Chains A and B, each alone.
Chain A
Amino acid sequence: EIVMTQSPATLSVSPGESATLSCRASQSVGSNLAWYQQKPGQAPRLLIYGASTRATGIPARFSGGGSGTEFTLTISSLQSEDFAVYYCQQYNNWPRTFGQGTKLEIK
């Protein structure tokens, strides 16, 4: 099973600033990497697929990068609604696996 490791566990950032979240896979997943946003009491929402393609309706301030084993999610000009937990997920191998999440909190 591919282990997905996210860092940091918690990231404190001020509104208006940028945040970069990292995700590392224990073996190459190519570009088969998705990012999700989850707010309290809600289901995860797809942000990015194919490592860098924004899902429908996702603002341009969200951008994904990387391939192979190293990936990043960058959120520029943070808005109040962006403070949430973010998960990466690989869909290159079975079973599908998720990272443990990065909590983005207001500084």
Chain B
Amino acid sequence: QVQLQESGPGLVKPSQTLSLMCTVSGGSISRGGYYWSWIRQHPGKGLEWIGYIYYSGSTYYNPSLKSRVTISVDTSQNQFSLNLSSVTAADTAVYYCALQLWLGSWFDPWGQGTLVTVSS
């Protein structure tokens, strides 16, 4: 079955860009109907959906983050990535990647998550 694994720096300086990668295994990122999302969880807090990408490159972002978010896909590497610009301490969180089997479905499975701390 599909598995996801996040990777990237665990520490980012304020005002810089946070960049994370999600590697998909056990299935093709180019499979029709699959939508690939990023979700984050602030320490000790709830969950916030960031945005999704389709293998074609089509994206949709949470309006609350839209001005700072870019999600891209590399089908040759079976990966998709998250860039979040102009980060502040408020962007410190565990970042998860997750799969939606179709656009109108729930999130399953999830990656294990990666903690990103924004600090100088």
Is B104 a contact of A44 with CB atoms below 8 Å? no
**Which of B47, B48, B64, B109 lies at the interface centre, i.e. has the most chain A CB atoms within 10 A of its CB?**
B47
CB A28 to nearest CB in B, in angstroms, measures 15
Alpha-carbon distance between A44 and B47 when the two chains are bound, in angstroms: 10
What's the nearest-Cβ distance from chain B to residue A59, in Å?
Answer: 17
Chain A residue numbers with a CB within 8 Å of B113 are 43
Contact of A34 among B48, B106, B109 (CB under 8 A): B106
A99 near B111: Cβ-Cβ < 8 Å = no
Flag whether A106 is at the interface (Cβ < 8 A): no
Residue of B nearest to A95 (CB): B62
The prevalent SS among residues of A at the interface is: loop
B34 interface contact, C-beta 8 A: no
In the complex, how many residues of chain B place their beta carbon closer than 8 angstroms to a beta carbon of chain A?
22
Closest B residue, CB atoms, query A96:
B49
Inter-chain contact A95/B49, CB cutoff 8 Å = yes
15 A-B pairs whose Cβ atoms sit less than 8 Å apart in the complex? A32-B104, A34-B107, A43-B113, A44-B47, A44-B107, A44-B110, A46-B106, A55-B108, A87-B47, A91-B106, A94-B60, A95-B49, A97-B49, A99-B46, A101-B46
Known: A91-B100, A96-B49, A96-B107. 10 other contacts (CB 8 A): A34-B106, A43-B113, A44-B47, A46-B107, A49-B108, A89-B47, A95-B62, A98-B46, A98-B49, A101-B46
Interface residues of B (CB under 8 A from A): 37, 45-49, 60, 62-64, 96, 100, 104-113
